[in-house]
Amino acid sequence: MGTASRVIVHADMDAFFASIEQRDRPELRGRPVIVGGQPPRGVVAAASYEARPFGVHSAQPTVEALRRCPDAVLVPGDMKRYARESAKIRAIFERFSPEVEPLSLDEAFIDLTRGLRALGGTPLEIGRRLKDAVRAETGLAVSVGIAPVKMAAKIAGDLSKPDGLIEVRPGEVAAFLAPLPISRLWGVGEVTEASLRGIGLQTIGDLAGIDLARPDPRGPRGVVPRALLSLLSRLQPLSRGEDDREVEPEREALSYGEENTFPDDVSDMDRLRDALIGHADAVARRLRHDGVAGDVVRVKLKTSERLARPGRYRLHTRQETLEAPTQDGREIGRVACALLERGRLPLPLRLVGVAVAGIRPASASIGGQMSLFEKPKPVAELDRALDSIASRFGAGAVRRGGGGGEKASPTLGVKRGEG
């Protein structure tokens, strides 16, 4: 698989919006700060570390956040300012490698593999340099995880917060993952977690350790229903640190996307639609989180047809421009499914994705009536409920249209100079 030689960095700004406010308004430093919309309809977009011990977190209704932390200072968000900061940070990342895959305004994967020699230094030294550059040029803290595979890099970065730096070396990935709760694994939402715990798998290492080829009647496999077996064999490589997903820099205009590679090539339309609907929900959630909306829905359909270059497959994209920008998962899902069904299909597919482009601040798109980080009235209640569940249990926990449960990996494309 050749993953052992890769050096992948996950960089994620700490409490991004709230930290910008604390930097720019010294009177807020050391105080609990909530960036979000006004009650009764507003939601939390970011909470400073001082607010988090009170149980304040993003996507929570502001009313609830202020009930938990009455001393918090509520700051209305300034998306334009945050987007400028985001562009500055992305430019710093790109000095380290052209291979930057943004995941949101404040989070990205950076592939250092090819540039490592030119940069001069160990991965850990370069990670330190990246943190120092961000600190020196923006005054903000970024947490950094380094690993040979994406999932481990992200988990390392998350565990290092705040303002941390953790490297997982080649050969150490499985040992790093083993003691972590099974819910940390990509693709394990609330439902899957319950199933896995139900057969005695608590940690990632528990899953990595079972031998699916040689069932032990006393062990988990003896009581695993057939349906769970396919899930286990799908998740097990990841639990052992085998993950060949590449860092995918995108050079198109700003877009928010989610996609998944199926464990097997898929021709079943219900399963394809189910995956698209799940992706549409996830994309919509991120659009709402960032206070933006978009009017172009795009689907990405990768066939199992191999191209001459090793590891490359034929990719088809189809898109549709809506009458008005949206951040509504149902609408995005409806359009994505229509695009899937439009014209002759290059079945079977090995990957499907949904992206929304034509991004603009959500407030502008609702005729200025909606303040930033507030949900537009007609769209809202179900989506708000989904956001709140997803933020508590992870995006895999909720899904609007049935339980396909395909693993999604988020993408965000930003053209240089935008976003």
Catalytic positions: 107
Q: Which C-beta is closer to Mg ion: that of 146 or that of 196?
A: 146
Q: Which of 288, 298, 296 is nearest to 379 (CA)?
A: 288
Distance in Å, CB of 389 to Mg ion, minimum: 20
Instruction: Report, in Å, the least distance between residue 103 CB and Mg ion.
Output: 9
* Shortest Å distance, C-beta 141 to Mg ion: 10
Q: CB neighbours of 311 closer than 8 A, spacing ≥ 6? A: none
Q: Is 111 in the site for Mg ion (CB under 5 A)?
A: no
Closest separation in Å from C-beta 105 to Mg ion: 9
Cα–Cα distance list, 217 to 13, 147, 193, 413 (Å): 47, 36, 22, 48
- The first and second tokens of residue 208, run together, are 């990595």
SS3 at position 356: strand
Binding span for Mg ion by CB under 5 A among 16-24, 231-239, 275-283, 382-390: 16-24
Which residues are within 8 A (CB) of 258 and not within 5 positions of it... i.e. 6 or more apart? 278, 279, 282, 283, 353, 354, 355, 408, 409, 410, 411
The answer to whether residue 59 forms part of the interface with Mg ion (CB under 5 A) is no
Verify binding: residue 290, Mg ion, rule CB under 5 A. Answer: no
Residue 13 touching Mg ion (CB under 5 A): yes
Comparing CB distances to Mg ion, the nearer of 12 and 374 is 12
Looking at the Cβ atoms of 106 and 243, the one nearer to Mg ion is: 106
Please, are residues 105 and 82 in contact by the beta-carbon 8 Å criterion? yes
101 binds Mg ion (CB under 5 A): no
45 binds Mg ion (CB under 5 A): no
Question: How does DSSP classify residue 225?
Answer: -
CB 112 within 8 A of CB 96: yes
CA pair distance 277, 305, nearest whole angstrom: 24
Q: Decide whether 82 or 96 has the Cβ nearer to Mg ion.
A: 82
Q: Please enumerate in sequence order all residues whose Cβ is within 8 A of that of 298, keeping only pairs 6 or more positions apart, or say none.
A: 255, 257, 317, 318, 319, 320, 339, 354, 355, 356, 357
Who's near 244: CB < 8 A, 6+ residues apart?
Answer: 1, 2, 3, 149
Stretch of residues binding Mg ion (CB under 5 A), selected from 13-21, 40-48, 56-64, 307-315:
13-21
Order of strands, sheet of 44-47, starting from the edge strand that comes earlier in the sequence? 44-47, 33-36, 73-75
Residue closer to Mg ion (CB basis): 105 or 199: 105
Q: Per-residue contact track with Mg ion, 341 to 370, x per CB under 5 A?
A: ------------------------------
Interacting stretch for Mg ion, rule CB under 5 A, among 4-12, 119-127, 265-273, 379-387? Answer: 4-12
In Å, how far are 63, 246, 304 from 16, measured between CA atoms? Answer: 21, 25, 39
Question: Shortest distance, CB of residue 363 to Mg ion, whole angstroms?
Answer: 22
- Tell me: does residue 12 bind Mg ion (CB under 5 A): yes
Identify which of residues 16 and 186 has a Cβ nearer to Mg ion in the complex.
Answer: 16
Q: How far is the CB of 134 from Mg ion (least distance, A)?
A: 12
Minimum Å gap between C-beta 281 and Mg ion is 21
Number of residues located near Mg ion, criterion CB under 5 A: 4
Give 86 or 303: the residue with its C-beta nearer to Mg ion.
86
Neighbouring residues of 160: CB distance < 8 A, sequence distance ≥ 6: 143, 144, 145, 166
Q: Does 147 bind Mg ion (CB under 5 A)?
A: no
Q: Is 106 in the site for Mg ion (CB under 5 A)?
A: yes
Please report which helix (H) or strand (E) contains residue 63, including its range: helix 62-68
Binding site for Mg ion (CB under 5 A): 12-13, 16, 106
